[in-house]
Structure 1
């Protein structure tokens, strides 16, 4: 869980912005999106192989 300390003279908007930035850096949002629905291991492997194929064909 990401936590931040709100400064004495800090506005709520700037604290919220810092919190969102920290969550993005920690990869929390992406992780939640991945785990939103169960994905079978075979489907996960197919997606991984497809992404690798796309990366190799571009470069």
Structure 2
């Protein structure tokens, strides 16, 4: 992975690098590989992730069709 440093602005380059790594899923994979995960645990985790994704997609589709209102965040 390559990041350009412009005008000796290392802080900005680090932010860009971190964002790229986040998008690629490197941090998530590093966390997952810290300890061994049994194949059965892996299957159950992946199945739960798939269920979560499908529910989120169905909720977004219902919002687009106007069946449910978009959730508003409470004021802080």
In the other structure, the counterpart of 2:26 is 28
Residue deviations 1:7-39 (CA, integer Å, cap 9, x gap): 2x1411111111101111111101111111111
Unaligned 5+ segments in structure 1 are none
In the other structure, the counterpart of 2:9 is 11
Higher normalized contact order (CA 8 Å, seq sep 6+, divided by chain length): 1
Who wins on radius of gyration, i.e. which is larger? 2
Number of positions where the alignment pairs a residue of Structure 1 with one of Structure 2: 56
Give the TM-score normalised by the residue count of structure 2: 0.56
- CA spacing shift, 1:48–1:25, aligned 2, 3 Å: closer
Give the TM-score normalised by the residue count of structure 1: 0.68
What's the C-alpha RMSD, in Å, of the aligned pairs? 2.4
